[in-house]
Copies of this chain bind each other. A is one copy, B any other.
Amino acid sequence: MAGIKMDVEALTAFLVRDFPQVCDQFVVERITEEGLILRLVVQDGHLRPGRTVSGPAIFALADVAVYLAILSRLGPVALAVTTNCSIDFMRKPAAGADLLCDVRLLKLGRVLAVADCLIGPAGSTAPVARAALTYSIPPNGPRGVPVTAPGT
């Protein structure tokens, strides 16, 4: 897999700047050999009756985690977009526990990136969900220019 272009600190700064409306929900835990781990800080807005984390909140966790994993290898290029997600909800999340999403980048091609995710509470071997996502990578050129650096 490619080298690391953005570390935890850079990805966190990117989240704060470009996704201010959701950045307080996510914590970049660490970069891994195959991808990264993102934490969903569970809040009332994520919960369904029974205080279980909702499907859309789990989907959003996987979607943001794969996006950040791609950025960690490609650098701060904007505009990669999700083209496909297949997700299996396997177990009911425990009420109120944060969820970790462990991303493996399986392909970082010229046009498409593919990753899979295991999602569950910290320390568990019984995942709540698994997902695979495909992102379309914009070609170099006008659409692929680097995002302006923080502070500019």
Instruction: Give the B-binding residues of A (Cβ under 8 A).
Output: 18-19, 21, 45, 49, 54-57, 59-60, 63, 81-92, 106-107, 109, 111-112, 114, 116, 118, 126-127, 130, 132, 134, 136
Q: Are A111 and B111 in contact (CB under 8 A)?
A: yes
Shortest Cβ distance from A45 into B: residue = B21
Copies held by the complex: 4
Residues on B with C-beta less than 8 A from A130 are 106, 114, 116, 132
Some 20 contacts from A to B, beta carbons below 8 A apart, are: A55-B82, A56-B57, A56-B59, A59-B85, A81-B92, A83-B88, A84-B84, A84-B86, A84-B88, A85-B86, A85-B87, A90-B106, A90-B107, A90-B114, A91-B107, A106-B127, A106-B130, A107-B126, A112-B136, A116-B132
